Each structure stands twice: as C-alpha cells, then as structure tokens.
Chains A and B, each alone.
Chain A
Amino acid sequence: MKKIVIHPITRIEGHLKVEAVVDNGEVKDASISGTMFRGIEIMLKGRDPRDAVMITQRICGVCPEPHAIASVSAVEEYAGLKDKIPVNGILLRNLILGTRSIADHILHFYILSGLDYIDPAQVMEYNGANQDLNTLKYFLQQGYSRPFLPRDEIDYRFDTKTTNMVVGHYIKAMDIYRKAQQAATLFGGKWPHDAAIVAGGVSQRLTADRITEFIWRLEEIADFVKNYYLPDVIAVAKTYNDYLEIGKGCRNLLAYDSYQTSSNGNYNDHLFKGGLVNNIDKYSKINIDNITEDLTHSWYQDSEPLYPGEGKTEPTADKKEAYSWVKSPRYDGMVYEVGPLASVLATYLGKKDPYIKNMVESSLSEIGTNISNMYSVAGRHLARVLSANIIVDKLSGWAQELKAEEPTVVEYDSPADGKGIGLCAAPRGALGHWLNVENGRISNYQVITPTSWNASPKDKDGQPGPYEQALIGIKVKESQSPVEILRVIRSFDPCTACAVHLVTPKKNLIGKYKVV
C-alpha cells in the first residue's frame, strides 16, 4: 500500500488535493479535498436580493455567468417576475451563457487538459509556415522551457506531426478564447463577471448593428469548434483509446433544463433537457425535491440529509470521520455525476431530437465506440465538445430572434418576503441557487454547484463521490508521475472555488482542526 498525495492539482480552477491509496499499481481508495474557502453564503445574508448576482458571480471567475443566471432566476421567482422576462432577455441570457460556455470548454480542453496529451517540446522539429509554431520553436531554441517544464514523465502518444498540429491549436485556442469572450461581452458588458445580467432581464439595450456584429463574430468561433476542437477530441479518444475505459465514475447522471427555446413562441422548451440517466441509457425525469445534502464525511454537525432550501451549515471541525469541506449532494440517496456528459446524454435519451441523436451517434461511430464508453475520461471530453457543437449551432438563430430597440428587461419590484430557486446548466453541469428573503433582505442563500456534486466525499452509506469512484480501480504506472490520476480528475473540469464556498466556519471550533 502506498499513498500518493497530489497537491496542488494545477491546470484547474482553484485549490484541490487528491490523496490516493495505491496497492500493486491500482488505486484502492481516493479522497478529494478542496483546500480554500471564503464563506460566500454567509456574506450574502442581509443583502439586497438583487445584489446576489454580483456576489455569487465571484464564486467563480471561470464560469461566473451561470451563477448570474441562476441567481437572477431565483430572485425573479421570489419577486414574481418569472413569467414576465422579455423574450429579448431570455435570448440574451442564452447567447451570453452559450458563448461563454463554448469559450470555457475550449479553455478546458486545450489550456487546462492539453498538456496531458501533447508535448510542446516536439515543436523543436517543426518545419512549416505556422507563425505560432515558429514563435514557439524560436522560444524553445533560445533555451526557454517554462511553464511547460518541469513536468511528470507522461506517455505522450501522438506522432510529431499530429503533436505539432494540436500544439498549434493549443496556441490558437488562446486567441479563440479571447474572441469568444469579446463576442459575449457585446451583450454581457464585460468578461469575467457580466454586469448586464440583472434581476428582470438583461440591461444591454439592443441595436441592429450590435446583433449583426455578434453574428459575424460567431463565424470564427463556430469554425474552431467544428474544424479544430471536435477533430482534436476525436483524435485524443482514438489515440489514447484506453481512456474510453478509464475513469468510469458512478454512472448515474443528473442535469437541469437549460437554454429556454421556443417551439410555439412561448419559450418553455429547452435546448438541453434535464433529467436523470441510470444504467447507461435509462432516462427518467428529475424532481428537485429529492435532492439532499449529506454531511457524514464533511466538517459539519451531523443531521439528517436536508433539502438545500433548508440547508444547515454548522461546522464541527474536529469531527473524526470527516475529510472534506464539500458536502455530499445526493439524489434519492444516490451518487450522481453532473456536467456536459449528463446534459448531452439526458437530452439524447430524453428528447429524441434527430439532430442531437445524429451528432452523438456519428461521433461515437467515428471513434468506433458506443454510448457505454461515454462514461470515461475520453467520453467526458467528447460530451463537452458535443455540447459546444450543439450550442454553437443555435447561437446565430437565437441572435436572429432578437428584436432590436425592444425591451430587454422588466422593472424590478420586490415583495418583503419570499423564496425562489434558480437552476441552470453551467459549463461544468447542474447548478442550483436557493434563495430566502425576509423583510426585503436575504435571510438564507444556498448554492449547490456542479463541482459539489462531482467532488463530494463519501456519504452515510459509505458511497464515494463521483471523482473518488472514477479513481478507484484505475492503474497508476509510475507513482512519481501519476498522470492517470490527473487525466481522470481533469476530465471532470474541476472548479474548486465553486465547490468549497459553502462553509461558515466557527472560530472556536476551527482551532482544533488541521486541514487534511
């Protein structure tokens, strides 16, 4: 038995530690800790409900816009505005969330995960005309190597020609990320932390030239998603094909409805259908009343698992069986994974949309695999790029549904008391905000983020969380270079600041506690 500790996990959002117990080259147990927290929910108490959109976006600067949308949705339900949001406001939120989610997926595959699959040092042998690659080659020739070195011993498998091509895309992805954020900023106001998403709609006034500029800016982004990102993910899945089997996880998926679309003019349909997927391909509807948070292995006072609207946060830092600040969200007492994998499969299985069916099936057949292998490291990357494809095909149409010069926001009027729930498909999966208001100020605010689901610790029945389940059983060739563990963890696209903002530490208890 050997314990591997990896801290920090780099090329993710936030501060994450993985501890894996390895026996004879196989992971027998794993525990995941987020090691930074701020206490955002306690900061929200007593504030104007409208201000939550500003504070909760700062939970995460990589994916702030879903927090904005979940937050204003919760506030709008509380304020009785849910059905009064102008169509322009609904569409603008789709456009902002969709464009930024694509940017986020590109950032994740290339900048964050890319160096697990491609070796920039091979560009030394490049002899072509690509300016970015020649710049990198010159950089290497002068003796520079950082931040690419030092690194683990990694089993890079692409030939030099393919490596050079994908490294070129890695550099181009930096430009595309910027350009996609610029396009979304036309409506969102600034990146990161959009200012235009407000309770009641979106504050950006619409003109025909702004709409048209957005549509033109999409061209290059759509080209990159379809002609670079998708082929590169398929190449990784084919070349690193054992990763179609590695990192299966809990194999239960959960997703919320997201991106309101119109089939009959009233915008109550959704691009991504929410729901549950069990036993590989069994779809069923979701009832959010069945979501609870288990505290057994988290540093909080024990209680029965609670519905998030009633969630408690009473820390007990000296609790022996606890090992994480993340709570354990469960659905019907079971472990669920969230993310683009859940959104894409729930929509594929539950919506029977021929366009989405074709997209999923054609990419699986190109790789030469089937839906059961979607539950894997490569499958998660594939689901993410399919999600980007599905979204990018909708953006121009949504932009054309916008009505220039017409209202984008409805006037906000707040009752003294009430509550609301806001749900959204963030780039990393199902995100929920639960709001309670008393006397016009926030009395309770609870957030369950995608990474809370995925990075959750074991629960009262001893069921490990999705990251942990994905690690248990995998083989680690070289304990000094545990690249297999890193590939599994990064396939989930961790966002630790999101997961571990939930705590309300009590000073007198914390003294006895050591961060593990």
Chain B
Amino acid sequence: MNNKKNTVIPVISIQGQNCTGCVTSTLCSEYPAIKNVLLQDIVPGFKLDFIFHPNIMTASGNRAMEILENSSKEKGYVLIIDGAIPTNDNGIYCVTGEKDGKKYTILEETLKLAPDALMVIALGTCAAFGGIAAANPNPTGAQGVGEILQANKIKTPLINIPGCPPHPDWLFGTIEEVLLKGLENVQLDDFKRPKTFYGQLIHENCPNRAYFDEGKFAKKLGDEGCLYELGCKGPITYADCSKRQWNSKTNWVIGCGAPCSGCTSPEYPDLLGDFYKKIIDVEVPANKRTKRIQKK
C-alpha cells in the first residue's frame, strides 16, 4: 500500500524498565508485517516515520541522542513508550542515554517528549500500569506512564495498550483506528484501553466456556477441562485473546493448557494472587472490576 499524497506521522519510541518483549511481540505482526510498517503506508494515505527506535535504528550514542534533542522540530509526532518509569531517587534506575556528559533518565525523556506529542501510547503492562517492574516490593518506585503524566499535569492524550506482552494487533490496530476514525472517536475504557481490543472478558469468549458452565474442571495441568481451578484469571481479565489468539492464531495461553495470568489488568502481577492458584474471592463471571486479593 503506497499513496503519494500521504500524511507522514513521525514516531518516537523510547524504552524504560522493559524486557524488550513488547518489541519482540510487535515484530511478529502479520498484517501488516513489520516490513510493511517500516517501509509502507500503515493504512492508505498514512505513513509512520520511525525517527527513533532503539532496537532498529542505525545510529548509536551521540547521533541517537541528537535525534531526541531535535525532536521539538518534528511536528505532531506519536510517542510510544514501553517499560515502566522508575521514580525513586529522581529516576536514576533507568538511564537511557548520555550527551555531552549529561545523563538522561527515562523519566526526564518522558517529561521532555510527552508534552509536544500528538498522542502518547503506553505499550505493555509495565508502561501502562507499572506491571512486572512494579511487582511487590517495587524496589525502584516503578510507575506507569499515565501516573507520570497526571502527576506532572501533562494533558497529551494517552492510550494504554497493556499486555505482557501486548498482542501486535492491539498496537497497530489501535493506530489504524486512530488514523481512520480520528483520535476522539476511539472508545477507551476507564483504564484508557481501547474497547475494540479490551472490551470483553477472556472468559466470555473462551472455547473452554462450555466446560466451565458444565462444571468440568481440569484438576491438574494437562487435563481436559476449564482451567479455573488451576488459577485461570480469564473470568476477570479484559482482552480478546480467546477470539484473536496469538502468533497468527497458532496458539494462545489457554489453548496450550495453561491458565490465563491476567496480564492486561492494572493489578498484574500481584493483586491477582498466585498464577497457578484459583481466584477465590470474586463472583464468576465478574461484571465489575474490583481489587482482588487472594487469601494467602
């Protein structure tokens, strides 16, 4: 897809306390494939221009830092952040680069780049809500991007694309929706997640749902049946994995016989209880989200 009258949208992608899993997930997008995203219009008439991405750009060191320094000259860029932002001790737990002897933390870069951005995308549960980086006892004071923007009164529109990792369709599908419908027409839930992808519970569309309704529960891993007794967080987790599946529908978590870990939730990983133990203090199916802490 190429169109000569296209609108070019600069993309700056920066990384906090991440594991790069959000990137390796994104690399596995199929339609569009990553080569299409880099080289062609993502939707007809709109070209993403990756001006900064630590894992694919040629430049290192000073030349890379100059791009960020000059970012204010870029009009209407989209800022994508993956990884959490540590806040203890002025954010020194994640230093992303250095220029002329000055070190820049992910906290400083976020505060510098977010105000002028067209929109901010917090990619992955760490960027959206703190995620694994903020797991108990959260040694570095890791926070999600939303908390940082709010605390610093930055009004740039924010979309959260949680998941550990997020599905590549959730990222590119959201960008496509913004480009085709306009940002103001993209419906978000209370946690700023696009309803298109996070509007329903895993449980609602789970192929094991019939087992659940019949009361046929797997007693140990490898058994046939619903995985609820083995710790499945599907009944309280909003995402479309059960319909969309993963890696071009080759498999998905519940499909491989493992319980859903609830990775798109703000409470992940601590407030959902042990991964392989049954959730016990919540009515199933749950229609309302509440903080759920498993009894120890």
Contacts and interface: CB of A to CB of B under 8 A. Distances in A.
Contacts of A112: 55
Interface string A125-164: 0000000100110110010101111111000000000000
Contact of B93 (A115, A171, A183, A505): A505
A12 B251 CA distance: 28
B71 interface: no
B269 A55 contact: yes
B246 interface: yes
A513 B92 CA distance: 9
Interface in B135-154: 135-137, 139-140, 142
Contacts of B66: 150
Interface in A361-406: none
Contacts of B29: 178
Contact of B257 (A5, A12, A64, A203): A203
Nearest to A100: B24
Contacts of B62: 480
A9 B61 contact: yes
Contacts of A152: 58-60, 63
A151 B53 CA distance: 13
Interface stretch (B12-20, B169-177, B201-209, B279-287): B12-20
Interface stretch (A185-193, A415-423, A456-464): A185-193
Interface string A56-88: 001111101000000000000000000000000
A14 B274 contact: no
B51 interface: yes
B251 A132 contact: no
B186 interface: no
B183 interface: no
A245 to B, nearest CB: 23
Interface in B12-60: 15-25, 27-30, 33-35, 38-40, 47, 49-60
B20 A191 contact: no
Given A51-B274, A54-B269, A504-B139, A147 B93 contact: no
Contacts, number: 274
A203 B140 contact: no
B142 A189 contact: no
A407 B96 contact: no
A204 interface: yes
A64 B51 CA distance: 28
A409 B269 CA distance: 25
B248 interface: yes
Interface string A2-30: 00011111111111010000000000000
A312 B221 CA distance: 35
> Interface size class for chain B?
35 or more
A35 interface: yes
A191 B20 CA distance: 12
A60 B18 CA distance: 8
Contacts of B24: 61-62, 107, 181, 191-192
B95 A515 contact: yes
A147 B221 contact: no
A107 B33 CA distance: 15
B252 A189 contact: yes
Nearest to B63: A150
A36 B84 CA distance: 11
B261 A42 contact: no
Contacts of B97: 7-8
A48 interface: yes
Interface in A164-215: 171, 174-175, 177-178, 181-183, 185-193, 195-196, 198, 200-201, 203-205
Contact of B60 (A8, A39, A505): A8
A12 B54 CA distance: 8
A352 interface: no
Contact of B55 (A10, A17, A142, A504): A10
B276 A408 contact: no
B140 A38 contact: yes
Contacts of A7: 61, 95, 97-98, 103
B21 A58 contact: yes
A43 B95 contact: no
B222 interface: yes
Interface in B244-277: 246-248, 250-253, 255-258, 261, 269, 274-277
Nearest to B82: A61
Contact of B221 (A35, A138, A193, A409): A409
B164 interface: yes
A146 B49 contact: yes
Interface string A37-54: 111101100011011001
A497 interface: yes
B60 A409 contact: no
A43 B137 contact: yes
A183 to B, nearest CB: 8
B60 A35 contact: no
Contacts of B30: 178
B61 A205 contact: no
Contact of B56 (A39, A111, A507): A111
B33 A178 contact: yes
Nearest to B36: A135
A265 interface: no
Given A139-B40, A511-B89, 7 more contacts: A38-B140, A61-B18, A139-B39, A151-B58, A178-B29, A178-B248, A505-B140
The 5 closest A-B pairs by CB, nearest first: A61-B21, A189-B256, A39-B139, A203-B257, A195-B258
23 contacts: A10-B54, A11-B58, A35-B96, A37-B140, A38-B133, A38-B140, A47-B274, A54-B275, A61-B23, A62-B24, A111-B27, A135-B35, A150-B67, A151-B58, A152-B58, A178-B30, A182-B28, A189-B252, A195-B256, A196-B256, A205-B257, A409-B221, A497-B20
Interface of B: 2, 4, 15-25, 27-30, 33-35, 38-40, 47, 49-67, 88-89, 92-98, 103, 132-133, 135-137, 139-140, 142, 164-165, 220-222, 224, 246-248, 250-253, 255-258, 261, 269, 274-277
